[in-house]
Amino acid sequence: MKTRQLQNEAITCFNPRTQEATMSRTLYWLQGGACGGDSMSLLNIESPDIAELLGFLDIEVLWHPSLSNGTSSHHRKLIDEILAGRQSLDILCLEGSVIRGPGGTGMYDTHERETKKDLIAALAGKAQFVVAVGTCASFGGIGADGEIEATGAMFTKTKKGGFLGENFVTAGGAPVINLPGCPCHGDVIAGALTALCTGTPLTLNEYNVPVQWYGLVVHQGCVRNEYHEYLIEEEHFGEKGCLFFHLGCRGPISYGPCNKLLWNRRSSKTRVGVPCVGCTDPDFPQPHPFFRTRNIAGIPLELPDGVDRAHYMAYKAMAAAAAPDRLKKRETEV
């Protein structure tokens, strides 16, 4: 998959349903095959914090596994009320992949003897919006190539369709909105919920991902950019140069907000010397080793977005020759 297609392909504009300012929005958060990292990311937002966000947007959380304290019978009644149409459901947030195994039965992931996949399908049919939170929910993630038969809500890796089907639309006429990341940044989740509740348009690319947060590569905003431009590359962790050529950093290839929206408003992987692993990519996790750059005769198999092989070869020699001494010294300074 060439991630550069994310901006070059046709995109669609999606305008959320506008509600009256005094009307509460209901939200149900369903956890499928997931680690819970996206929930933890959302719970860690700071300005506004989670309580302020829900209050400002007037969101009534019908259920969230980390926030709700209702009994099992209360939860069962809530689900029955939603499916019967007696309880409205504005936003369904799906965290984690849809588990279809073994053999398409879905019995690897159940809730009260009911398969989660059937519950996901039923609730998705009642919701005005479905938001796939995280890479697993968006594209299948780590289990998409395994025996659990995991898939995303509307995509399996790069292939459109997923669990709900390529032509799925919600009761509000919208496709599934994908917010990839492992985990998704809490501010992205908060921003998407804000857009849905306030009627702010979201522009989606061909993977149903909002370009407001995923329209730039991770490389943009990286503090190591100057080293990258002059091909001053590191072979070992803990040094100050670029991590792309030898250590497999996908920052120039993968789209995501990590150097735009800093984690804990402080840092990112590349800022602390850890290569980007491309966790927002539809085909994450990659089938080849992390922290290693695949190459042929010294030319990476996957080049920075917008650069072809011939230009990269010519650029490589010129950039290295033109590198300022102050950058070259950074390679050897402790």
pLDDT in tens, 71-111: 999 999 999 999 999 999 999 999 999 999 999 999 999 98
Boundary of a domain, candidates 156, 182, 214 = 214
For 299-321, what is the mean pLDDT? Answer: 82
Whole-number average pLDDT of the chain: 90
- The whole-angstrom separation of Cα 107 and Cα 84 is 24
- Helical ranges in 185-324 per DSSP H: 186-198, 211-214, 225-229, 244-247, 309-322
pLDDT confidence of residue 67: 93
Residue 333: pLDDT over 70? no
- The whole-angstrom separation of Cα 83 and Cα 177 is 21
- For 256, the token pair is 């995501």
Residues 248 and 170 in one domain: no
Whether 149 maps to a domain, the answer reads yes
Sign of CA dihedral 285, 289, 295, 298: positive
Whether 154 maps to a domain, the answer reads yes
Residues 148 and 229 in one domain: no
CATH of the domain at 312: 4.10.480.10
For 206-211, what is the mean pLDDT? Answer: 97
